[in-house]
Chain A
């Protein structure tokens, strides 16, 4: 309709006033060419990051699924391979996320980072029964990839879901909760879940009302509480009817598991 350049010479003219104007090129073209290049670069970066974030998410999920209490060497090496592949993904987008662009694409990368946080914190828990600190988590990421405290918190929320699965599966197969002996005495996973819950509940996020963190925290807080309560109910069930239960019985995890996985 209004492509200015390639048109037939005979064209509507406003009473001859604009005789030459139709054949002229917009004086703003050089400026828009610069804009076009900038925007193209931006979109390319954005797409690369979205793709990497998806791959990192998938790899993290696989790692989490294969992690168990005693990590057999075969799974161990598989996990390491996946971690190495993930590391490559991170490295490939590190140049896109340097300097000012670290926050520019935060929304695109944050899904992958949170999933990664979940995997790395679960692994740390299985090995050491501690919550990985943000500093230590940061150290596991390649140079140039930033871990924001928001992504850290949201990843740790998801850790609760993993610990629930871990607790319930272990109870089903061994008949007792996973326990650990630390320097500070003996604990079980339910105590750990409760201390996570207490810490989360103490976190005051009312100030982040309209922000992304505020909304996510609200959703994840509910899921997190449900997870802890499920383990509590399962422990109760184990104590009440523990010895009547046939071996290999698995408590019903219900539909909420889907919700846990998707967020």
Chain B
């Protein structure tokens, strides 16, 4: 430049470098997320079959879901590797939704009796989900990829929504026991959510839906009991 300048050109050069590096990091993450999103849809469509499959024939559906989840786990692993090069919270908004979907798939599959849980109706803890995904959970003293509490809670809300749907569909399939089990499980989760002090964020908004789902499931149980359709001999396992 002909004129002397107040701006050291190096300043803007290094800013540009930084901007380009950030763009590159986002690009790498986005590439993995595309795969993860596609795999998520596959898993979702497999798990959808649960709604039309009698409990007795569930195991092929579960093992097929597990297979699909294994693909997702591999993607999460490469995501964790790439993402851990940058500060976790810098980009976590990019993958949070996809990771929530993976967690949900694992929770639902686990609840159905897959993912190494022996019985149906079990809730995998955040630590167990972390073990399945082979990533840390709720990291505080180290800046690396992990599963956050918020992501786990969001996945729990999705699980509740899914189970409300399953409660209806299990009745259609002639299974009158399942709604009772779901009812207890969801009520227990609801009790947990009630002690959280949620601020006005997305978790708050979505958790408002839990009580409607609790009610939906209670209505199903009510309909069944009104018609004497509840199996008497066996109490719901919990």
Contacts and interface: CB of A to CB of B under 8 A. Distances in A.
A28 B192 contact: yes
Contacts of A33: 195
A4 B187 contact: yes
Given A2-B187, A14-B225, A104-B89, A35 B6 contact: no
A26 B189 contact: yes
Contacts of B88: 100, 103-104
B184 A18 contact: yes
A260 B1 CA distance: 29
Interface in B169-228: 180, 184, 187-199, 211, 214, 221-222, 224-225, 228
Interface in B6-57: 6-12, 14-16, 18-20, 22-23, 26
A35 to B, nearest CB: 5
B225 A129 contact: no
Contact of B197 (A4, A39, A106, A131): A39
Contacts of A125: 6
A176 B192 CA distance: 69
B235 A2 contact: no
Nearest to B214: A2
A238 to B, nearest CB: 20
A111 to B, nearest CB: 17
Contact of A205 (B3, B19, B193, B236): B19
11 contacts: A14-B224, A25-B191, A26-B188, A100-B87, A100-B89, A100-B142, A134-B14, A199-B7, A203-B16, A203-B19, A207-B20
Given A31-B192, A100-B89, A185-B4, 19 more contacts: A2-B214, A14-B180, A29-B191, A29-B192, A32-B191, A38-B138, A43-B197, A100-B88, A100-B139, A103-B90, A129-B6, A130-B8, A133-B10, A134-B15, A182-B4, A184-B4, A195-B5, A204-B16, A204-B20
Interface of A: 1-4, 14-18, 21, 25-29, 31-33, 35-36, 38-40, 43, 99-104, 106, 125, 129-131, 133-134, 149, 152-153, 182, 184-185, 187, 191-192, 195-196, 199, 202-205, 207-208, 211, 213
Interface of B: 1, 3-12, 14-16, 18-20, 22-23, 26, 87-90, 123, 125-126, 138-143, 149, 153, 180, 184, 187-199, 211, 214, 221-222, 224-225, 228, 230, 232, 235-236, 238
Which 8 pairs of residues, A with B, have the shortest CB-CB distance?
Answer: A207-B23, A184-B4, A32-B192, A103-B89, A26-B188, A26-B191, A195-B5, A192-B6
